[in-house]
Amino acid sequence: MNRPESVTVVGASAAGLGVVETLRREGYEGDLTLVGGEPHLPYDRPPLSKQLLSGAWDVGRLTLRQPEALQELDVDMRLGVPAVGLDTAKRAVLLGDGERVGYEALVVATGASARRLPGTEGVRGVHVLRNLEDAQELKAALARRPRLVIVGSGFVGAEAAAVARELGCEVTMVTDVAVPLGDALGAEIGGMLADVHREHGVRIEPGVMVEGVLADGARQVRGVQLADGRTIEADVVLVGIGAGANTGWLKGSSVPVGNGVECDATLYAGDGVWAAGDVASWVHPGTGRRTRIEHRTNAAEQGLAVGRNILAGPGEAKPFAPVPYVWSDQYDLKVQIYGSTRGADEVRIVEGGLGERRLVALYGQGGRVCGAAGINMVRVLRAHRRSVADAVPWEPEAALVGGER
């Protein structure tokens, strides 16, 4: 085992923090540098579209670790300075302030950025929701109870819709898919969630693309233009159409980049470079598929795995083979998913039912269980995680536990 003398981690959020904590916990005594583009101590993102937006929590609650705990890690923290370039031949990271930080091992943990709608640059009243400032700006805008149009029906948009309704805003959700959240949960369960949103007063416009925003002469947003010719008036627009991996700063280096940093099964990308979190794409040993996951627990687990693998060295590193997990809170519903449900060819509700709005559903692909989703059935769902982990045959698993609809 030859441990690197210095490790530099770029990206000071869930994944990056996971790496440096793991290294120290496992006894690493070499030089550690953590570079973060944001001027804040590492903070948590899931509450941005939930408790922070609603006002239930103040900013302080989002801090991932207390300053004392960070100090104990003995890490050279460079916060508020982005990495702007990488020289893999000389093993140095170039920072925005002109400094260079060397490394023997490097971890790319730069996460992802919200996708924007073309033509919305500089239009006031158009928001995305990815970082603390985004959430604070949106929160301030919602306090005026505007007519809000949400573009996209992913988890972030759906959570923001729920909060905005609770704050008394008029909310319209426009999505190009037929059933909001149907791509993640299937038409039936997605449909149930859509019903819940409608009951709470959200107007949903499914199956139509948003072509752009309408702005007045003062560059203030006035509405959105739909592909079918209609327009919807709005005072505030939230664009929630997904996120793209932050890999721009790696241009010109030897790091392989596709949809994220392309790693092997151990999260290694070659030349001393590893990746973790939303930015990392790796070949999942269980499915054999190249995968990039934007889930909070994945960031922590990959941070842990990369920390350990750095200490083991590329030759001894272990493949990363998780059961992915994600949750979403909307109104009084807790949605939880293990495994992958997108692209499933079978869905069966095995516990509870749509009417009760408490259920567990199994998802199958190619005759095997590939995912499990729950609504307000937390412990019951966890009992099905094993079937996902083992990818057990669809029959008899799904038939055994016969749920009533």
Q: Which is nearer to ligand FAD, 21 or 397 (CB)?
A: 21
> Contact between 289 and another protein (CB under 8 A)?
no
The binding track of 375-394 with respect to another protein, each residue x by CB under 8 A or -, is -x-xx--x--x---------
Alpha carbons 114 and 240: distance in angstroms, whole number: 7
> Contact between 292 and ligand FAD (CB under 6 A)?
no
> Contact between 175 and ligand FAD (CB under 6 A)?
no
User: From the list ligand FAD, another protein, none, which binds 309 (C-beta under 5 to 8 Å, kind-based)?
Assistant: none
User: From the list another protein, ligand FAD, none, which binds 334 (C-beta under 5 to 8 Å, kind-based)?
Assistant: another protein
- Which of 400, 296, 337, 324 minimizes the C-alpha distance to 50? 296
Residues 329 to 358 in contact with another protein, rule: CB under 8 A: 329, 334, 336
- Quote the least distance from Cβ 149 to ligand FAD, whole Å: 18
Question: Angle, nearest 10°, between helix axes 187-199 and 155-166?
Answer: 20
Distances (CA, A) of 354 to 138, 233, 340, 376, 399: 33, 33, 21, 11, 18
Residues 303 to 322 in contact with another protein, rule: CB under 8 A: 304
Identify the residue among 15, 35, 64, 373 touching another protein (CB under 8 A): 64
Q: Which two tokens stand for residue 384?
A: 């099905």
Q: Which is nearer to ligand FAD, 37 or 371 (CB)?
A: 37
Helices assigned H by DSSP within 38-181: 51-54, 67-72, 132-142, 155-166
> Contact between 185 and ligand FAD (CB under 6 A)?
no
- Quote the least distance from Cβ 129 to another protein, whole Å: 18
Binding segment toward ligand FAD, per CB under 6 A, in 36-44, 54-62, 306-314, 345-353: 36-44
Contact, 47 vs 62, CB < 8 A? Answer: yes
> Contact between 44 and another protein (CB under 8 A)?
yes
- Quote the least distance from Cβ 393 to another protein, whole Å: 23
Q: How many residues does the chain have?
A: 405
Distances (CA, A) of 88 to 187, 273, 321: 46, 8, 27
- Which of 34, 3, 2, 4 minimizes the C-alpha distance to 18? 34
Identify the residue among 21, 262, 278, 301 touching ligand FAD (CB under 6 A): 278
- Which of 343, 304, 399, 214 minimizes the C-alpha distance to 24? 304
- Which of 256, 257, 216, 217 minimizes the C-alpha distance to 233? 216
Alpha carbons 76 and 133: distance in angstroms, whole number: 25
User: From the list ligand FAD, another protein, none, which binds 82 (C-beta under 5 to 8 Å, kind-based)?
Assistant: ligand FAD
> Contact between 48 and ligand FAD (CB under 6 A)?
yes
The binding track of 341-380 with respect to ligand FAD, each residue x by CB under 6 A or -, is ----------------------------------------
Contact, 328 vs 158, CB < 8 A? Answer: yes
User: From the list ligand FAD, another protein, none, which binds 197 (C-beta under 5 to 8 Å, kind-based)?
Assistant: none
Residues 230 to 269 in contact with another protein, rule: CB under 8 A: none
Work out whether strand 236-239 and strand 147-151 pair parallel, antiparallel, or are unpaired: parallel
Binding segment toward ligand FAD, per CB under 6 A, in 43-51, 197-205, 224-232, 346-354: 43-51
Identify the residue among 246, 253, 266, 309 touching ligand FAD (CB under 6 A): 246
Contact, 352 vs 377, CB < 8 A? Answer: yes
Contact, 333 vs 321, CB < 8 A? Answer: no
| DSSP code at position 62 | G
Identify the residue among 37, 46, 146, 352 touching another protein (CB under 8 A): 46
Question: Angle, nearest 10°, between helix axes 296-312 and 14-25?
Answer: 40
Q: Which is nearer to ligand FAD, 36 or 286 (CB)?
A: 36
> Contact between 109 and ligand FAD (CB under 6 A)?
yes
Question: Angle, nearest 10°, between helix axes 132-142 and 155-166?
Answer: 30
Binding site residues, another protein, CB under 8 A:
14, 18, 21-22, 25, 44, 46, 61, 63-65, 296-297, 300-301, 304, 325, 327, 329, 334, 336, 376, 378-379, 382, 385
